[in-house]
């Protein structure tokens, strides 16, 4: 009677004589340029392809099983291959796990492509219980020299010399999961300032392109280099912008998209801002006299086409673009903004310096106390200062609140 543990050399009375070939379909959408194409498996015994429900796009998998009854299994070979849809290097990740019994166990794995056959794994024969005896699990990655229209893939197999005359295993090719993060070189930034957005893709061996989107609008794709890609822009408008980076994936790496980054762009700060404020009629009437000089990087102002926003203490308002009228060096507005009667004038003094006068009635300035914050924003320019306002709680007649240009003073803080 033959031992169940080990046998000497002997002649086998029968060999596997049939093969099952099944197609393994990729689980990726047709728009993925790097989708793993259809794979086929062939070899002795029972061969079946499966697509595991793991949510991994591009996964292709097959299983094999052979049982010769008793007396061991001579070397068997299975083939898992596909036809290249593109020419160039294709990197895939693989996992192979299985059971080739306990004694005189061998395993081998080769890559096969246009360059020929290259051995990746060759182990055994070994006895219990050194791997691959009693089970094995291999994981790795391999780069194929693909030629469009030609086959590439793997040959794998093994043997044993055990009364447990079975070989079984599962072989999977898949794309590696990636993560993408996006960062900003300056956040917040100033209007007109160049800002560089950088995408970092992990692992940094990933290749392909990154597409940055600003406020939902995709920009031109940028090629990855060393796991990073960058986009520089100086055209962001004042306000908040949503920026994302989407990695396209490649032959061996999954696509991924970053979390959204909020980029804040602030107006160009005035180089100086002076102001004087008079508040009366129980905090319902104020007059502002101010002068300001635009910053060196300012794109200039045009109150006719720019929004003009103003904050005085607890009161704020915006005079919409198109409201001011232009006359020589003067810009004038008179009207009602949210129930507040407003008269405003802006006059150029030359050299990017302007005077501003605003008078408002029926305003709600409740809670305003000294020092009073004054902020002026015109288009993509802004400045703020704090002043000690003249506050008349009760108005009993005429107040001398007319202030000459020479009386306007204050300090400037950028916003």
Phi/psi of residue 40, nearest 5 degrees: -130, 145
- Predicted pLDDT of residue 393: 75
- Predicted pLDDT of residue 257: 98
Tell how far CA 189 is from the center of its chain.
20
Q: For residue 49, what is the DSSP state?
A: E
Q: Return the CATH number at 287.
A: 2.60.40
- Say if 80 falls within a structural domain: yes
Q: In this structure, are 138 and 187 located in the same domain?
A: no
141 pairs with which residues across the strands? 93
Using omega within 30 degrees of 0 as the cis cutoff, is the peptide bond preceding 215 cis?
Answer: no
Report the relative pairing of strands 209-214 and 239-247 from DSSP bridges.
Answer: antiparallel
Q: How many whole angstroms separate alpha carbon 374 and alpha carbon 383?
A: 8
- Say if 28 falls within a structural domain: yes
Concatenating the DSSP letter of every residue in 177-218 gives P-EEEEEESSSSEETT--EEEEEEEESTT--SEEEEEETTEE
Q: Give the distance between the most distant pair of CA atoms in the chain.
A: 125
Going by pLDDT thresholds of 50, 70 and 90, the confidence category of residue 18 is: very low
Among 174, 192, 207, the domain boundary falls at 174
Q: In this structure, are 132 and 216 located in the same domain?
A: no
- Predicted pLDDT of residue 44: 95
**What is the arithmetic mean of pLDDT over 43-54?**
72
Buried b (16+ CB within 10 A) or exposed e, 164-179: bbbbbbbbbbbbbebe
pLDDT in tens, 70-102: 889 999 999 999 998 888 888 889 999 999 999
Going by pLDDT thresholds of 50, 70 and 90, the confidence category of residue 50 is: low
**What is the arithmetic mean of pLDDT over 328-339?**
94
> Backbone dihedral region of 322: left (phi > 0), alpha (psi from -120 to 50 degrees) or beta?
left
Among 174, 194, 221, the domain boundary falls at 174
Number of domains, the chain: 3
**What is the arithmetic mean of pLDDT over 1-16?**
33
- Contact (Cβ atoms closer than 8 angstroms) between residue 322 and residue 305: yes
Global pTM exceeds 0.75:
no
pLDDT in tens, 252-292: 788 999 999 999 999 999 999 999 999 999 999 999 999 99
- Predicted pLDDT of residue 265: 98
Q: How many CB atoms lie within 10 A of CB 39?
A: 22
Q: In this structure, are 278 and 232 located in the same domain?
A: no
- Say if 170 falls within a structural domain: yes
Distances in whole angstroms, Cα of residue 113 to Cα of each of 41, 87, 126, 152, 243: 16, 12, 30, 4, 41
- Say if 9 falls within a structural domain: no
Going by pLDDT thresholds of 50, 70 and 90, the confidence category of residue 394 is: low
* Structural domain harbouring 198: 179-266
- Say if 17 falls within a structural domain: no
Phi/psi of residue 292, nearest 5 degrees: -150, 155
Q: In this structure, are 350 and 313 located in the same domain?
A: yes
Residue, of 172 and 413, whose pLDDT is higher: 172
Q: In this structure, are 228 and 343 located in the same domain?
A: no
Q: How many whole angstroms separate alpha carbon 82 and alpha carbon 149?
A: 10
> Backbone dihedral region of 68: left (phi > 0), alpha (psi from -120 to 50 degrees) or beta?
alpha
Q: Return the CATH number at 46.
A: 2.60.120
pLDDT in tens, 119-169: 999 999 999 989 999 999 999 999 999 999 999 999 999 999 999 899 999
Q: In this structure, are 144 and 59 located in the same domain?
A: yes
**What is the arithmetic mean of pLDDT over 247-251?**
87
Among 108, 141, 174, the domain boundary falls at 174
Q: In this structure, are 183 and 272 located in the same domain?
A: no
- Contact (Cβ atoms closer than 8 angstroms) between residue 227 and residue 203: yes
């Amino acid at each position: 009677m033959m031992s169940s543990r080990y046998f000497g050399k002997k002649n086998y009375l029968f060999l596997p004589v049939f093969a099952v070939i099944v197609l393994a379909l990729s689980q990726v959408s047709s728009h993925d340029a790097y989708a793993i194409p259809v794979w086929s498996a062939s070899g002795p015994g029972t061969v079946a392809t499966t697509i595991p429900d793991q949510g991994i796009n591009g996964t292709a998998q097959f299983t094999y099983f052979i049982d010769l009854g008793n007396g061991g299994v001579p070397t068997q070979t299975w083939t898992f291959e596909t036809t290249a849809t593109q020419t160039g290097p294709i990197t895939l990740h693989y996992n192979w796990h299985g059971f080739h019994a306990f004694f005189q166990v061998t395993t081998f794995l080769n890559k096969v492509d246009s360059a020929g056959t290259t051995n990746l794994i060759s182990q055994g024969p070994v006895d219990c219980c050194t791997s691959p005896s009693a089970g094995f699990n291999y994981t790795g990655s391999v780069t194929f020299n693909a030629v469009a229209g030609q086959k590439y893939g793997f040959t794998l197999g093994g043997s044993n010399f055990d009364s447990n005359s079975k070989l079984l295993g599962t072989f999977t090719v898949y794309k590696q999961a990636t993560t993408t993060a996006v960062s900003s070189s300056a956040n917040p930034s100033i209007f007109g300032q160049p800002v560089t957005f950088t995408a970092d893709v992990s692992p940094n061996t990933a290749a392909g392109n990154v597409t940055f989107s600003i406020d939902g609008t995709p920009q031109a794709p940028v090629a990855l280099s060393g796991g990073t890609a960058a986009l520089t822009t100086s055209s962001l408008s004042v306000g908040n912008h949503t920026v994302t980076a989407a990695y396209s994936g490649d032959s061996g790496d999954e696509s991924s998209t970053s979390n959204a980054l909020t980029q804040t762009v602030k107006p160009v700060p005035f180089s100086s801002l002076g102001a004087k404020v008079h508040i009366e009629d129980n905090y319902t009437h104020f007059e502002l006299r101010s002068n300001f000089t635009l910053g060196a990087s300012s794109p200039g102002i045009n109150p006719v086409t720019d929004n003009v926003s103003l904050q005085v203490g607890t009161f704020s308002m915006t005079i919409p673009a198109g409201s001011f009228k232009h006359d020589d060096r003067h810009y004038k507005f008179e009207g009602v903004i949210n129930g507040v009667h407003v008269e405003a004038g802006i006059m150029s003094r030359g050299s990017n310096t302007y005077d501003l006068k605003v008078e408002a009635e029926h305003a709600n300035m409740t809670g305003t106390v000294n020092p009073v914050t004054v902020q002026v924003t015109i288009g993509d320019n802004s400045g703020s200062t704090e002043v000690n306002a003249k506050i008349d709680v009760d108005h009993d007649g005429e107040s001398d609140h007319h202030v000459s240009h020479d009386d306007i003073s204050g300090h400037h803080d950028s916003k």
